Amino acid sequence: MSAQHPGDIASRLAGVRSRVAAAERAAGRAPGSVRLLLATKTIPLEGVRAALLADAAARADDSAASPVLIGENRVQELVAKAPHLLDLAPEVHLIGPLQSNKVNQALSAASCVESVDSLALAQKLATRCTAAGRVLDVMVQVNVSGEATKHGVHPDDAVRTALDVAGLDGLRLRGLMTVGAHSPDPDRVRSGYRLLRAIRDEVRDSGAPGTASAVELSMGMSGDLELAVAEGATIVRVGTAVFGSRPTP
């Protein structure tokens, strides 16, 4: 009955891949245009490895599929697990809030920070990356729903922040990220995703320095990924649909 049984993880992962493929078809989007990020908070290392191995096995039969990404919320968990995944070489993203005193730790394990929610944080990351001679992928997190519990910049400030971030040396703006509205109303959830896409388009259409790479829309989770794919998501972040329900803390 373990939620972490490798066979369960493999079959749930296949189920999520079919959902994404069906959503791409329904939206008239090219197969493979949406990448899957596994949100691995609270999932033990063995579960994460099982998912990566299942993904590699599935892709051996389907060369068009792109590898899953890994997303961690907490820097502590990120640095604890990432070194034990190196043999499987996943692309690892930070998708949770980053305090400035954890920037160095985050940089040691993540190749992308999706949760940049202030220019001050971006500047701190940029300074460290420039000093280290590297370029970090980042996304600006936008709070499209306005829910007080959600992180991210206000939609009214999102274009300005994204343009400022795009102009920083040491960072490459890849796009925008949001956590959708927590609502049973699909129209409300969907309009938030539509807003994120409009912000992304405005950023790219500006033609400002560093904005050409800002193509990604990281939006949609286990419960609502179809709505996000319909609105143009390029990355959906899925936890429970692959790993089963998380233990309550």
Ligand X SMILES: *Cc1c(COP(=O)(O)O)cnc(C)c1O
Q: Stretches 12-20, 51-59, 126-134, 215-223: which one binds ligand X (CB under 6 A)?
A: 215-223
CB of 144 to ligand X, least distance (A): 13
Among 41, 59, 74, 194, binds ligand X (CB under 6 A): 41
Which is nearer to ligand X, 41 or 197 (by Cβ)? Answer: 41
| Closest to 68 measured CA to CA, from 8, 16, 11, 134 | 16
Interface with ligand X (CB under 6 A), residue from 94, 152, 237, 244:
237
* Minimum distance from residue 130 beta carbon to ligand X (Å): 27
Q: Are residues 50 and 12 in contact, defined by beta-carbon separation less than 8 angstroms?
A: no
Of 222, 226, 231, 244, which lies in the binding site for ligand X, with binding defined by CB under 6 A? 222
Which residue's C-beta sits nearest to ligand X? 239
Residue 6 or 223: which CB sits closer to ligand X? 223
Please give the backbone phi and psi of residue 42, each rounded to the nearest 5 degrees, phi first: 70, -5
State the nearest-atom distance from the C-beta of 179 to ligand X, in Å: 5
Q: Which of residues 122-181 bind ligand X (CB under 6 A)?
A: 179
Number of residues located near ligand X, criterion CB under 6 A? 13
For residues 20 to 39, the per-residue mask of contacts with ligand X, x marking binding by CB under 6 A and - elsewhere, is -------------------x
Q: How far apart are CB 221 and ligand X at their closest, in Å?
A: 4
Applying CB under 6 A, which part among 6-14, 56-64, 189-197, 238-246 lies near ligand X?
A: 238-246
Residue 188 and residue 181 in contact, taking contact as beta carbons nearer than 8 Å: yes
240 belongs to the binding site for ligand X (CB under 6 A): yes
Indicate whether 73 belongs to the interface with ligand X (CB under 6 A).
yes
Per residue, the 3-state secondary structure of the chain, as one string, reads: CCCCCHHHHHHHHHHHHHHHHHHHHHCCCCCCCCEEEEECCCCCHHHHHHHHHHHHHHHHCCCCCCCCEEEECCHHHHHHHHHHHHHHCCCEEECCCCCHHHHHHHHHHCCEEEEECCHHHHHHHHHHHHHHCCCEEEEEEECCCCCCCCCCECHHHHHHHHHHHHCCCCEEEEEEECCCCCCCCHHHHHHHHHHHHHHHHHHHHCCCCCCCCCCEEECCCCCCHHHHHHCCCCEEEECHHHHCCCCCC
Tokens of 164: 């400022």
Q: Is 221 in the site for ligand X (CB under 6 A)?
A: yes
Binding letters toward ligand X, positions 81-120, x by CB under 6 A: --------------x-------------------------
Q: Which residues contact ligand X by CB under 6 A? A: 39, 41, 73, 95, 179, 221-223, 237-241
